[in-house]
A and B are shown apart, each in its own frame.
Chain A
Amino acid sequence: MNIFNLTKGKPKEFTRSSYLVPRTSLAWILCSLVAVILPHVVRMPIWLVLVCALCIIGRVLIFQGRMSYPGPIVKTILVVLILWLMVAQYGRDVFATESTVAILIVAISLKLLEMHKKSDVIMVIYLCYFTVIAEFIWSQSIPIAVYILFCILLISAALMSLSQTEEYQNPFRTLKLSALILLQSIPLMLALFILFPRIAPLWSVPLQSSTARTGLSDSMSPGDIGNLIGSDELAFRVKFNGENPRPAELYWRAITLDSFNGREWSRGFNIEPQFLGAGARDDRAWFQDIEFQGDILDYNIIMEPTDNNWVYSLKIPQVLDERMIMRRDFQVDSIRNISQRFSYDMRSYMNNRLDASLNQRELRQWRRIPSGSNEQSFEFAVNLREESGSDQAYIQNVLAYFRSENFFYTLQPALLGANPVDEFLFNTREGFCEHYASSFTFLMRAVGIPARVVTGYQGGEYNPYDDTLAVRQYDAHAWSEVWLQDQGWVRVDPTAAVAPDRIERGSQFVFQLEDVFLQDAGLSLLRFRNSLFLNDLRYRLEMIDYSWNRFVLNYDQGMQFAFFSSLFKEVTREKIIVTALGFIFFSIAIMVFFVLRKPSRKELHPATDLYLGYCDGLAKQGFVRARGETPFAYFDRLRNLKPAWSKQMCDITDKYIELVYKRPGQLNHPDDVKEFKNKIHQFHMLLY
């Protein structure tokens, strides 16, 4: 024995590099990583998914000892190669959210291959937490929320398994405890969610829109809107404050198109920054010209992401929200791109006079048509105008022409060539709303009436359960607005002249027999809207979805304030702080109570447990065992009160004493306890 060896202090620990990730922990980590990556896969290029899969397989091989950790050269080559491929794949968008998340996922996967310290393992787990939450940027639906919660459970189990002793690990116990802790965190989560002040975004982040969205675009040529009819995707949901307007009044303006090249309508010259937001100080002259009249309609819209700026409104909106601006042509735009579900409040005045006076420059802009195309229509317009005498009469005559001639309203119109207006008006005569809106606007401009095309949605479907209006892609519509002296901009819908049912009863009704309708919808519940039960189910699901969107996803400062207003008459900052802290401490107290409470009953001898049951049975008959009364004393007392039971009670008491007060080391046979149980059971039968 050498004394000097010992004076050197602590026994030397194993070198760090020999840290072995415990088997179960590794399994947990790989499981949670797969779960985390899974929802992101749809947005990742296929080669990236393969890289991740190879990393996971490699990690398993390393664990099995069939492969060693990659050396520094291999690692460097791998990282450089993948970075190069990433830049090649995403180009300048490499810093957009989508590619950042993809890079993060690859980084975690690569980290697996050099996970040889405990801190590396922790890092992988924390990165998993971070990545899983990123999924919410793209989808916050209920199923995704449930799935993410499941991922969090797996990751937490992985984290927990790291601080357990390997030999004592039991996956079910780990999972159960993780689930329990998550469950117990819910009170605090709710308190914080409701009360924590919401802060405005610190900086804006570009999202990548690689997935093409179904919806309107900022130009319109024949066939564009008709393509939307195949889709049952939700465009937006509306909740009116007060009475619901009739479907025929619901013209949801989205985009105002004012530039025509003979075939295509687009947003052209008129997007100069003449706008007005709620926050704008200088009221523009043009805006003061609007005479707001008639009924006020307040409503809340939750729109699905479009990756564009425009938002939907009824004519003519007063912008109340600081996040939005109104353009000169009454198109309302959001300041930020709408890449996530967006909720806003709107106020519309149903009757109004817009722009009763326009200056010459503006008049010219809204009369412009390209020369040299659609000449036949041009001549037709000029002749008809001469016959009509006034602008109003001319409009009526054009509509009458659509109505009386053999025009068809169809989803599958014949294709149009170089002069689409001519061909549509005089040859094919079958078209969808954009054909009618386009040619009508052309006919107006041809005779000098300022006119424009407006695209958006028309109608919608009321849900009987929560009274919300769902507007879907197949409700897409296009109509015209014409400017008349003294009246300003007036809405004219030529489609209504051809197919009044489209406006009165919706496109669902009009097109339900056409093949194209809902052709992109897949196995949508909408296909079964004729089945009473399934349609009812669909309404209920939509109601849940709407509440989820409105009250959970769009919970904001306004709703926070409403919550406090419902608590106090007068909301002050002090009250808010005190209530918030109170709620938070209360929820923590609930959590602590559940964690630290003592187990309800001590672990008892099985016979004692049974004996107490026997006492309870007697207590119900009115013979309560006194505190501290021994079994024998209890029996003696009862023997005199109830001689009829004396034999059984004697048996039970004796047996109990025999079972419990045995000499130490003398073990009870399980059958003894069973026999005792039977005795008590029989006694209970006797009692009742």
Chain B
Amino acid sequence: MIATSQTEAYPKTLNPYLIWRRRFGQWVVRRIPPSKNIELHLNNIFIIPTMQGLGFCFVLALMFIGAINYETSLAFALVFLLIGVFILAIFYTYRNLSGLHLSGLTDGSVFVGENAEITIIVNRHGKRTYEAIELGFEKSRKVVANLIENKEQRLSLFVPTLKRGQLNPGRLRVETFYPFGLHRAWSLVDLDLNCLVYPIPIECDLNILNTSDRDGGKVNITRGNDDFYNLREYQPGDPLKHVAWKNFAKGQGMYTKQYSSNIDDKIWLSWSLFSELSKEDRLSRLCYCVLKLDASGVDYGLDIPECVIEPNKGIAHYHSVLRALALF
């Protein structure tokens, strides 16, 4: 799935650079398959001299011409020494990534337009230390990891979300220029991040729900919300604002307040509710409804093509409904 979306990112074109980039992207995907925990090594680190490195070569060439012209042995020796430094730097730069372990964490879900926080965990095993490793997605800022005394570092990256569905921030670019900035060692890894982007909620008139009862019964969500009915024992997932805190404070245990309107009222969020709107707009309205219904503690179900979720409530239900909307 990632592979296809990666190809989608590059439109068909005859620009050789873009063709090359696309080919490279496909090749990288084949070469470095997604994984929750990736260790960087010979097969997934690329290395190439930087402009600064080419500049260094140019200076060396000038020095070499000087050494020839003035016939100074030690100048030759020094140029050769610096050639050695240039070559060694390749291996040092490579070493600064090799053996590094990467994994990623996300906070699960965001709405379109919010920045998804992705926590990258870098850690090292053994004595080798790592310095100045830049991490970043194509659309995020870069952060720098240094593992010198510590074994592990957690870094937060914020990726803007543009589309609902599975978050696809592209591949994480891990790169380093250390020690001399003459070479760039980098890797493009897919940490198999699991982050859903829910549709952006767009406000709508909730009264529309009153007429949309599938069973034909009248449900009035805007009214009766506050009619206290009784207490039942708290179950994980109940909205916290419905917890009977007074009782809890008296030391009587945790109870959830139940209201008249949500005892057996079941609201169906149906695909036909906003039939005059486009697909994305419908999803956004539904998303808004879900947020509101969840806050009010009503049982609600989802009925969209190819996905029917029985009315329920609680955080797990809330997320499964939003998930269905996100992936629709």
Spell out A's residues near B (CB within 8 Å). 1-3, 6-7, 9-11, 97, 122, 126, 129-130, 133-134, 136-137, 140, 145, 148, 152, 156, 159-160, 162-165, 167-168, 177-178, 181-182, 184-189, 192-193, 196, 198-205, 340, 552-555, 588, 591-592, 595-596, 598-599, 602-603
Contacts and interface: CB of A to CB of B under 8 A. Distances in A.
A181 B89 contact: yes
B289 to A, nearest CB: 19
Interface stretch (B138-146, B214-222, B318-326): B138-146
Nearest to B179: A160
Nearest to A199: B68
B228 interface: no
Contact of A185 (B81, B128, B181, B200): B81
Interface of B: 52, 55-56, 59, 62-63, 65-85, 87-89, 91-92, 94-95, 98, 112-114, 126-128, 131-132, 138-141, 144, 146, 148, 160, 162, 177-181, 200
A413 to B, nearest CB: 42
A203 B69 contact: yes
A591 B88 contact: yes
Given A133-B66, A164-B132, A596 B74 contact: no
Contact of A163 (B70, B114, B180): B180
Given A6-B113, A164-B131, A189-B81, A136 B72 contact: yes
A181 B95 contact: no
A237 B118 CA distance: 72
Given A133-B78, A165-B146, 8 more contacts: A10-B138, A136-B78, A160-B179, A165-B131, A188-B83, A193-B76, A199-B68, A205-B70
A177 B73 contact: no
Contact of B92 (A130, A165, A595): A595
Contacts of A553: 73-74
Contacts of B67: 133
21 contacts: A1-B113, A2-B113, A10-B138, A129-B82, A130-B59, A136-B72, A137-B75, A152-B81, A156-B85, A185-B81, A185-B82, A186-B84, A189-B77, A189-B80, A189-B81, A189-B83, A201-B69, A201-B70, A553-B73, A596-B98, A599-B128
Given A163-B179, A164-B132, A595-B92, A188 B78 contact: no
Contacts of A133: 63, 66-67, 75, 78-79
A203 B69 CA distance: 6
Contact of B131 (A145, A168, A588): A168
Contacts of B79: 133
B52 A122 contact: yes
Contact of B181 (A162, A186, A595): A162
A152 B87 contact: no
Contacts of B200: 3
A184 B86 CA distance: 11
Contacts of A178: 179
A9 B162 CA distance: 10
B11 to A, nearest CB: 15
B92 A126 contact: no
B73 A598 contact: no
Contact of B75 (A136, A189, A598): A136
Nearest to B98: A596
Given A162-B181, A185-B81, A599 B127 contact: yes
Contact of B179 (A6, A177, A189, A192): A177
Contacts of A340: 70-72
Contacts of B89: 181
Given A122-B52, A126-B55, A185 B85 contact: yes
A196 B52 CA distance: 26
Contacts of B88: 181, 184-185, 591, 595
B81 A186 contact: yes
A35 to B, nearest CB: 15
Contacts of B59: 126, 129-130
Nearest to B126: A599
Q: Which residue of A160, A186, A603 has the most chain B CB atoms within 10 A of its CB atom?
A: A160
Contact of A193 (B68, B80, B91, B127): B80
A682 B112 CA distance: 68
Nearest to A9: B139
A163 B181 contact: yes
B76 A168 contact: no
Nearest to B146: A168
A136 B81 CA distance: 15
B84 A185 contact: yes
B162 A181 contact: no
A6 B111 CA distance: 13
Nearest to A553: B73
A188 B88 CA distance: 10
B74 A148 contact: yes
B148 A168 contact: yes
Contacts of B146: 165, 167-168
A274 B13 CA distance: 74
A126 B178 contact: no
Contacts of A7: 162
A97 B62 CA distance: 15
Contacts of A185: 81-85, 87-88
B113 A201 contact: no
A164 B131 CA distance: 7
Nearest to A551: B73
B117 to A, nearest CB: 15
B10 to A, nearest CB: 15
Contacts of A199: 68
Contact of B62 (A130, A162, A203, A204): A130
Contact of B139 (A10, A156, A165, A198): A10
A140 B83 contact: no
A152 B74 CA distance: 13
B128 A140 contact: no
A97 B72 CA distance: 14
Contacts of A182: 81, 85
A10 B138 CA distance: 8
B78 to A, nearest CB: 5
A130 B79 CA distance: 10
Nearest to B182: A159
Nearest to A164: B132
Contacts of B160: 6
Contacts of A3: 112-113, 200
A591 B179 contact: no
B73 A554 contact: yes
B72 A140 contact: yes
A196 B70 CA distance: 16
B200 to A, nearest CB: 7
A137 B75 CA distance: 8
Nearest to A194: B80
A608 to B, nearest CB: 15
Contact of A156 (B83, B128, B180): B180
Closest 5 CB pairs of A and B: A185-B84, A188-B84, A192-B80, A599-B127, A163-B181
B102 to A, nearest CB: 18
Contacts of B68: 198-202
Contacts of B144: 165
A595 B95 contact: yes
A137 B79 CA distance: 14
Q: Which residue of B66, B128, B177 has the most chain A CB atoms within 10 A of its CB atom?
A: B66
Contacts of B62: 130
A188 B73 CA distance: 16
Contact of B56 (A126, A167, A177, A193): A126
Q: Which residue of B68, B88, B92, B139 has the most chain A CB atoms within 10 A of its CB atom?
A: B88
A181 B78 contact: no
A596 B178 contact: no
A159 B181 contact: yes
B242 to A, nearest CB: 28
